[in-house]
Amino acid sequence: MLRFLNKKIIINLAIIFSIFVLDRFSKIYIIQAKVSGPINEIKITNFLTLELVWNRGVAFGLFSMSDNIFYSAITLLILSIILIIVYLSFASSGFKRLAYLMIAGGAIGNAFDRIVYKQVPDFIDFHIGQFHWFIFNIADIFITLGVVFMIIIELIGSKNNEKINS
């Protein structure tokens, strides 16, 4: 068993686990703050508030659902996609590997909540006056950063390919 655990695998798992733990601690903190006190929100700045919102949707509250069969099917699909992303992270290198690991760590954090709570706790609320963006969590930050990094990698890669082919 130990001969399969090379340095790359250990580092990959450590990154995924670190993102998962950071996400878990942040969610546990905000859930406990909500349970233990009458405070509905924690105002950090004029544009940043921490407020617990339970999300039964897929991403940023989109496609919220109450149908258990559909919810379970979506959860199974998400778990399948996570396995593919983890595989791609192990098959990749460099910045692309890091992007996949960020996506995987965040996705595992949210999938854990979907399984345990049947919903995902979101709590970071950026707003300007009365305009509020989607409320999100730490896992969503890592997923979004990973996707942005993948887009940048693809754009840079396609520009390099255009230069080589011209």
The answer to whether 23 is a known catalytic residue is no
Chain centre to alpha carbon of residue 157: 25
Collect all residues with Cβ–Cβ distance below 8 Å to 142 and sequence separation of at least 6: 19, 23, 102, 103, 105, 106, 109
List the catalytic residue out of 23, 113, 125, 140: 140
The answer to whether 113 is a known catalytic residue is no
Q: Which amino acid is at 53?
A: V
Inter-residue contact 131 to 97 (CB < 8 Å): no
List the catalytic residue out of 23, 113, 122, 125: 122
Please tell me the distance from the alpha carbon of residue 124 to that of residue 133, in angstroms, as a whole number.
Answer: 10
Joined together, the tokens standing for residue 157 give 């890669």
Which residues are identified as catalytic?
Answer: 122, 140
